[in-house]
């Protein structure tokens, strides 16, 4: 057994699979839509099986109101479907409903090294100055995340820039497991999928801070349940600066809010940032913001309407989740059983 992650594990030879999830911990916003939901729909059409789960196990690394958690799970599932995911083509399920996630996470906890987890920057950011008050789950959740991925032998994972470190940990864990237990190529070394111009959507009030549902200011984000008037008003009031729209080739390093709005427009319109800049170069924000507001409203209104319809019919969502759970378990359970055999657990 080695402490370091090997780098020469033979290649995985199994099928291509894509996996991702969103935490069941509150209202979804434009950042979730552009950074995840819109991309999931495109990946669904790529030909690879997609597994999209609601990460309720991850959500409880910080306290969640038990009376709201199931409703939040349904809301995430509704957002998946409203954004264009077809439950017949993509497997949509709650993480906690497939027990193999927790089983594999424990085994991988015994493969991962403390030094690897100590390097995870997100724990330091989320725990702040009082890490001793944080849950153990908050510290070890990157291992659960690795289990989520490896349980389905996912070969590709859509991630934002802030999650790349966790995917690197997953690759380290997979390589170490394959080597420690003489199982070359058993787990794949999943690759990140980072696509498009708005992989990291920033706050409408602070271009240096990621758009977040935990921000105390509702003006900092566009919620997927916001109506058209609210969306337009938030964009009109979004922070910019005293300048005008940049010219092609102009650096935006010192204009983070402007850079963010351009990225949002580009992602919603399926254009490049350069194309957006060329269209609006030299114009004032009095011209750009209304155009962005119209685009955001037209893009999000159908999603909001379908989300509301689905949330008014929880039985329909539950049918989707139950079917997805059964399909996910049919893949996951044999994998964790094989892992137990490889590790040497009693199999009577």
Q: Please, what are the averages of pLDDT over each run of 10 residues along the chain (348 residues)?
A: 59 91 88 88 88 96 92 95 95 98 98 93 75 87 96 91 85 97 96 73 94 91 94 96 95 95 94 96 96 96 94 96 98 98 93
Position 91 scores a pLDDT of: 98
Position 342 scores a pLDDT of: 98
What single string gives the DSSP state of each residue in 121-167? HHHHHHHTT-GGGS-HHHHHHHHHHHHHHHHTT-SEEE--GGGHHHH
- Under 8 Å CB-to-CB from 103, ≥6 apart: which residues? 336
pLDDT tens across 104-129, in order? 999 999 999 999 999 888 777 777 77
CA within 13 Å, CB half, 264: 33
What single string gives the DSSP state of each residue in 49-97? -EEEEEEHHHHTTS---HHHHHHHHHHHHHHHHHTT--TTTEEEEEGGG
Position 159 scores a pLDDT of: 80
Give the integer Cα–Cα distance in Å for 178 and 184.
Answer: 5
Asked if 287 and 244 touch (Cβ cutoff 8 Å), the reply is: no
The pTM of the full predicted model, rounded to 2 decimals, is: 0.88
Residue 72: name the closest of 100, 50, 96, 51 by CA.
96
Residue 166: name the closest of 210, 123, 114 by CA.
123
Position 8 scores a pLDDT of: 55
Residue 19: name the closest of 272, 324, 260 by CA.
324
Residues annotated as catalytic are 126, 210, 213
Show the tokens assigned to 160.
Answer: 């934002």
Position 95 scores a pLDDT of: 98
Give the integer Cα–Cα distance in Å for 131 and 84.
Answer: 39
Give the integer Cα–Cα distance in Å for 97 and 263.
Answer: 36
Show the tokens assigned to 45.
Answer: 């059409």
Calculate the CA 124 to chain-centre distance.
19
Q: How far is CA 280 from CA 91, 92, 180, 207, 251, in A?
A: 40, 39, 56, 20, 15
Please state, as a whole number, how many other Cβ atoms lie within 10 Å of the Cβ of residue 163. 19
Asked if 259 and 252 touch (Cβ cutoff 8 Å), the reply is: yes
Coil, helix or strand for 293? Answer: helix
Q: Please report where in the chains the tokens 């820039």 appear, as a residue.
A: 161
Asked if 171 and 156 touch (Cβ cutoff 8 Å), the reply is: no
Please state, as a whole number, how many other Cβ atoms lie within 10 Å of the Cβ of residue 252. 16
Q: Please report where in the chains the tokens 């935006």 appear, as a residue.
A: 252
Helix/strand/coil (H, E, C) string of 235-253?
A: HHCCCCCCCCCCCCCCCCC
Position 260 scores a pLDDT of: 96
Give the integer Cα–Cα distance in Å for 84 and 319.
Answer: 17
Q: Please report where in the chains the tokens 């069941």 appear, as a residue.
A: 24
Give the integer Cα–Cα distance in Å for 221 and 201.
Answer: 10
Show the tokens assigned to 16.
Answer: 């291509």
Show the tokens assigned to 302.
Answer: 């159908």
- Euclidean distance between the first and the last CA atom of the chain, given in angstroms as a whole number: 26
Position 3 scores a pLDDT of: 66
């Amino acid at each position: 057994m080695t402490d370091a992650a090997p780098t020469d594990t033979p290649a995985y030879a199994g099928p291509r699979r894509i996996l991702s999830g969103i935490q069941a911990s509150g209202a979804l916003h434009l950042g979730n839509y552009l950074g995840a939901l819109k991309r999931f729909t495109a990946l669904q059409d790529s030909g690879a099986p997609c597994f999209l789960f609601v990460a309720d196990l991850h959500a409880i690394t910080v306290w969640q109101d038990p009376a709201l958690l199931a409703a939040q799970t349904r809301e995430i599932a509704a957002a998946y479907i409203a954004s264009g995911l077809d439950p017949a083509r993509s497997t949509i399920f709650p993480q906690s409903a497939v027990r193999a996630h927790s089983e594999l996470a424990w085994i991988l906890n015994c493969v991962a090294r403390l030094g690897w987890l100590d390097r995870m920057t997100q724990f330091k950011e989320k725990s702040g100055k009082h890490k001793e008050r944080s849950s153990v789950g908050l510290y070890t959740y990157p291992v659960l995340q690795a289990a989520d991925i490896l349980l389905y032998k996912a070969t590709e994972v859509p991630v934002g820039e802030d999650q790349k470190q966790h995917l690197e940990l997953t690759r380290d864990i997979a390589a170490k497991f394959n080597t420690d237990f003489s199982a070359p190529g058993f787990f794949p070394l999943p690759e990140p999928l980072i696509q498009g111009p708005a992989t990291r959507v920033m706050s409408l009030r602070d271009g240096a801070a990621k758009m977040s549902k935990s921000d105390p200011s509702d003006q900092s984000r566009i919620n997927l349940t916001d109506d058209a008037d609210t969306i337009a008003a938030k964009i009109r009031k979004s922070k910019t600066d005293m300048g005008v729209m940049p010219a092609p080739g102009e650096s935006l390093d010192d204009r983070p809010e402007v850079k963010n709005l351009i990225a949002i427009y580009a992602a919603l319109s399926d254009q490049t940032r350069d194309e957006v800049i060329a269209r609006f170069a030299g114009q004032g924000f009095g011209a750009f913001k209304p155009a962005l507001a119209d685009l955001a409203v037209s893009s999000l209104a159908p999603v909001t309407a379908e989300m509301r319809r689905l949330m008014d019919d929880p039985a329909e969502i539950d049918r989707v989740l139950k079917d997805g759970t059964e399909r996910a378990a049919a893949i996951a359970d044999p994998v964790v059983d094989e892992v137990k055999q490889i590790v040497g657990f009693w199999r009577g």
